[in-house]
Structure 1
Amino acid sequence: MKKNIIANVIGKFWSALSGFLFIPLYIKFLGFESYSVISFTLIVAGVMAVLDAGLTATLSREFARKDQLIVEKFRVFKTLETCYFLIIIFTGIFIFFFSDFIAVKWLNLKIIDPERVSLFIKIIGFEAGFQMLFRFYMGGVLGFEQQIKANIFQVGWGMLRNGVVVLVIYFVPSLEMFFTWQLISTIIFTILMRFSILRILSGKYILGFKPTLEKEIFFKIGRFAGGMLLISLIASLNTQMDKLTISKLLDINILGYYTLAISIATGIYILVSPISIALLPRFTALYSKGEKENAKQLYKKINLFVSILLFSFMANIMFQGNKIIWIWTGNSDLAEKANIFLPILSFSFSMLALATIPYDIAIANGYTKLNNLLGILSLFLTLPGYWIATKLYGGIGSAYVFCLVQTMITLVYLYFINKKFLSLTLYELFIKNLLLPLIVCLAMAYGLTFIPNVFKDNRILTFLLIGIFTATTLFSGILIFVPFRELKNIFNLRKNNLSN
């Protein structure tokens, strides 16, 4: 598992780093309103991801099971792949016909022609379909616990799609070229990823595609996939509604500032993602073999470390946000406007990330009922809440609603997942694993702000100083809360029963 976690860390680190490196260049070569348009197209892709219908999670779970033959896994793959192609065709038609309405009636554009934006939406709708396929195939590779291979593809795709495009727009600075290049890059890597997963399943490369829909497969996985569909739908509404509301009610540049803050805050969520990706197949395998106590012990050892990791980065982002955005973009005015949202969003994404490992426990057991129930109940707050808060307080109102919802959902979710599958004491669950690490990390990060920044005009040295502050907070939390022998077990530095 250690190699898988390392591979996932590299993949997710690249995802975070590529955004950190390339977004300022997009703004420099294309202009800030163009970046705001790009940020809206990311919302379109995010909303379309709901049509994943839980099929990626279903495929990964089926491939991770130890009680299923490879022939059965291949049948599941073919049926789910056919479903994906049907979904992509449907969404492509839908986006094509509604792109004009979105560009003209929804967005508050000042400079860019709505007809051009309509074209961009059509392109991104098509590309989002291939993104879904790419992640579907990658989910299958991850289900086989081949994280190294999956992350090689992920990094390669990111370099071609998000990195090389900088050279393209340097010579041809237009959004048309930007979106077209991203589409071509995604198509190429989707085809390569399909070859890879078919090689794993059949031992050979298969070029053709034959539609296959087996009723027996639907009956077998339908309940889990249906639950995942509802989870995806609710998650899409809860995570995209704030940005959709801002794009409708406010100037599109406000969406750009908000999205910049989210780009940094999302890095907190990315921290736990590689650990989660490596753990899900392991939890699935343990529960499928009935080894519940081993799964519980693995959760206990990982979860405390995850809390310290998340809160260390979150606290320093909250207190150093203005400097971080300035280091990133080189624009102090942009940093000031985007930093308004960053402390709230960084806490929000920390709470969202805290639910990731318990979510793996639920998915490993095929349990989606709680996610759906909490998600549906939260809609009664988010649907009117975002609209009213944005109307009254602007973008900051949306940020507060997002934070409130994520905090409430995470705390309730932790309680019920623990009650059903883990049976930790409430002290272990909330005080030891959450509240105490949060207090220590906030206090440490706040105290470090009193150290004067003698490099205030140097972005690189200021970045290094903030990195030292974050590392100090992290290692202090680890030394306070995690015994050394448990820390070794987390990274599998010695053999134990859990690794076996």
Structure 2
Amino acid sequence: MLKRNITANYISQLYVTGVGILILPLYIKYMGAEAYGLVGFFAMLQAWFAMLDLGLTPTIARETARYHGGSMTALIYRQLLRALTLIFIGIALIGGGILLYMADSIAAKWLTVELLSLAEVKLAVQIMAISVALRWLCGLYRGVITGSEKLVLLSSFNVVIATFRFIAVFASMWHFGFTAKVFFIHQLAVAVIELLGLFIAARGLIPKQNMLENAIGWSFKPVKPVLKFALTIAFTSSVWVLVTQTDKLILSGILPLTEYGYFTLAVLVASGIMVISGPVSIAIMPRMARLHAEGKHEQLIKVYRTATQLVSVIAGSAAIVIAFYAEQLIFSWTGEQMLAEESGPILRLYVIGNSFLAISAFPYYLQYAIGNLRYHLIGNAFMVVLLIPAIIFAAINYGAIGAGYVWALINGLYLVVWVGYVHYKLEPGLHSKWLIQDGLIIYGSVILLLSFLSLWPIQASDRLLTILQIFAVSALALITAVISADSFRKKLILKIKSVF
């Protein structure tokens, strides 16, 4: 089931990410770069709203997995779920209400608007506030579905919602006009559909009330046993938002919306690396939590290392290709040579930083399974102390390119220094094998290949020819990564032997 879940996650995430990225040039073409800057601001708001999660989404996912693993009774699970539901609704109302109240100030004082009317921008921000609150509420029900390991169902639903969000919006804009107002009203409608769909799916996975011996009741006491774990995740989640979104928040107030739209475009492409690694983490976290609860430590480490290699193969090879051919990729995608020249260096730096981040996240998955996030908490605290001031200084003084350099450098240091220490404390003897066999050998092989292929550079002149060349290089990089990965190479050799 784990392989099926990972496959389903990858298919849905590739579709969601792919359609979201491929459609961007059409947004800019029909809505204009400044209106697209509002779309980038909307994405950033959703990320900052996640700080209000307080660790509740991963907590309900973990507790759902533990319930299905037999570590919790149906009554206790339902009591916990009801308490978390009340907390989710309360925070959604408070957070969404604050954003709604601040809409006028955000439109008039924070965003640098040149072409759009302030009334249109204010309305867009108001709709964003409601949509962000609704989408955040979806986290509770996603946690139930994820913890139940019904990821094929969740992945299929994500594909449908992404189609409505990214493609169907053009039907709305074609009929009512290519304006920010129409775009965000459509997103609000999709957010309502998404919440209802997840609610219905989650209700079918939880124990029915009439099957319980006692009444569920109304109390927050069931939250207390998981409060320490939830608050630890809350802190680390807040740190994650601070780490990944501070540059975007600062630049949204510095850059004109048009330039911010171009910056968002580059960062969104780079974020595809984290999206590619996301399905693996979603699939292995409940599985590792269950294996730990069952005392199957060797199987847990095997899942951990195999998943690391999988991310190194897929996300790592993709990141290296993008870093080598950033300008050519943007040109083949948008057809704008000047945009490629301006966004390419930003994309290169962010994709390098994200490739470090995708691998650095794995010790968190191990600590999540164990149920003790102490080292993750400490590491993220150090990350904040180093990264936030550096990002603020670089963004204010050097703009997007300065923020990119800081992002790549500090994520590289985190991988080299802190991840090694965490492995030493939790699983002595693992780190060198994990870092070299599951990471460096795979990355190094692809870098050597592309360094050799760069002797024949891809010229960004003809879009179709450029994209075909990048696809060819990507295929070679992926093949090289698969051959370099120990677990995949062994399976490949066994299959070849079985044939002959």
Select between 419-428 and 48-57 the one with higher mean Cα deviation. 419-428
The alpha-carbon deviation at position 212 of structure 1 amounts to 6.9
- Is it true that 1:292 corresponds to 2:293 in the alignment? no
Q: What does residue range 2-401 of structure 1 map to in structure 2 within 5 Å?
A: 2-65=3-66, 66=69, 67-171=71-175, 172-202=177-207, 214-401=219-406
Contact 1:261 1:342 in 2 (8 A): yes
SS at match of 1:340: helix
- Is it true that 1:478 corresponds to 2:482 in the alignment? yes
In structure 1, distance between residues paired with 2:275 and 2:205: 27
Could you give the per-residue CA deviations for residues 386-429 of structure 1, whole angstroms, max 9, x where no partner exists? 22212322211111122223223333442233223333344313
The alpha-carbon deviation at position 437 of structure 1 amounts to 2.7
Select between 5-14 and 92-101 the one with higher mean Cα deviation. 92-101
Select between 320-329 and 430-439 the one with higher mean Cα deviation. 430-439
Contact 1:29 1:170 in 2 (8 A): no
In structure 2, distance between residues paired with 1:371 and 1:348: 19
Select between 363-372 and 152-161 the one with higher mean Cα deviation. 363-372
Name the counterpart of 1:498: none
In structure 1, distance between residues paired with 2:289 and 2:465: 44
Contact 1:302 1:490 in 2 (8 A): no
| 2:52 partner letter | L
In structure 1, distance between residues paired with 2:478 and 2:387: 33
- Is it true that 1:405 corresponds to 2:407 in the alignment? no
In structure 2, distance between residues paired with 1:175 and 1:345: 28
The alpha-carbon deviation at position 191 of structure 1 amounts to 0.8
In structure 2, distance between residues paired with 1:11 and 1:285: 24
In structure 2, distance between residues paired with 1:91 and 1:327: 40
SS at match of 1:173: coil
SS at match of 2:178: coil
In structure 1, distance between residues paired with 2:352 and 2:299: 31
Select between 54-63 and 311-320 the one with higher mean Cα deviation. 311-320
The alpha-carbon deviation at position 482 of structure 1 amounts to 2.0
Could you give the per-residue CA deviations for residues 353-381 of structure 1, whole angstroms, max 9, x where no partner exists? 11233221111112222222222222222
In structure 2, distance between residues paired with 1:59 and 1:426: 30
In structure 2, distance between residues paired with 1:489 and 1:54: 43
**1:444 aligned to 445, 449, 452, which one?**
449
Structure 1 residues 201 and 483 mapped into 2: Cα distance closer, same or farther (>3 Å)? closer
SS at match of 1:214: coil
Contact 2:247 2:391 in 1 (8 A): yes
- Is it true that 1:432 corresponds to 2:437 in the alignment? yes
In structure 2, distance between residues paired with 1:103 and 1:373: 37
In structure 1, distance between residues paired with 2:306 and 2:294: 20
Number of equivalenced pairs? 487
SS at match of 1:201: coil
In structure 2, distance between residues paired with 1:489 and 1:444: 22
Select between 410-419 and 97-106 the one with higher mean Cα deviation. 410-419
Contact 1:301 1:490 in 2 (8 A): no
The alpha-carbon deviation at position 72 of structure 1 amounts to 2.5
Select between 18-27 and 138-147 the one with higher mean Cα deviation. 18-27
Could you give the per-residue CA deviations for residues 77-123 of structure 1, whole angstroms, max 9, x where no partner exists? 11111111000110122112212222222222211223322221121
In structure 2, distance between residues paired with 1:393 and 1:485: 44
Name the Cα RMSD after superposition.
Answer: 2.5
Contact 2:141 2:199 in 1 (8 A): yes
Structure 1 residues 211 and 168 mapped into 2: Cα distance closer, same or farther (>3 Å)? farther
Contact 1:362 1:417 in 2 (8 A): no
SS at match of 2:20: helix
The alpha-carbon deviation at position 249 of structure 1 amounts to 2.4
Contact 2:445 2:484 in 1 (8 A): no
Contact 1:228 1:368 in 2 (8 A): yes
In structure 1, distance between residues paired with 2:410 and 2:309: 23
In structure 2, distance between residues paired with 1:28 and 1:156: 25
Structure 1 residues 475 and 92 mapped into 2: Cα distance closer, same or farther (>3 Å)? same
Contact 2:92 2:133 in 1 (8 A): yes
| 2:466 partner letter | T
Contact 1:280 1:364 in 2 (8 A): yes
In structure 1, distance between residues paired with 2:476 and 2:31: 38
Structure 1 residues 489 and 251 mapped into 2: Cα distance closer, same or farther (>3 Å)? farther
The alpha-carbon deviation at position 305 of structure 1 amounts to 3.5
Select between 460-469 and 80-89 the one with higher mean Cα deviation. 460-469
In structure 1, distance between residues paired with 2:189 and 2:106: 24
In structure 1, distance between residues paired with 2:490 and 2:84: 40
| 2:224 partner letter | F
| 2:7 partner letter | I
Structure 1 residues 306 and 490 mapped into 2: Cα distance closer, same or farther (>3 Å)? farther
In structure 2, distance between residues paired with 1:346 and 1:304: 18
SS at match of 1:132: helix
In structure 1, distance between residues paired with 2:209 and 2:32: 46
Could you give the per-residue CA deviations for residues 230-284 of structure 1, whole angstroms, max 9, x where no partner exists? 1121111111101111122233333222211111111111221111111111101
Contact 1:43 1:240 in 2 (8 A): yes
| 2:323 partner letter | M
SS at match of 2:116: coil
Name the counterpart of 2:463: 459
The alpha-carbon deviation at position 444 of structure 1 amounts to 1.1
Could you give the per-residue CA deviations for residues 47-75 of structure 1, whole angstroms, max 9, x where no partner exists? 01111221110011001111123332222
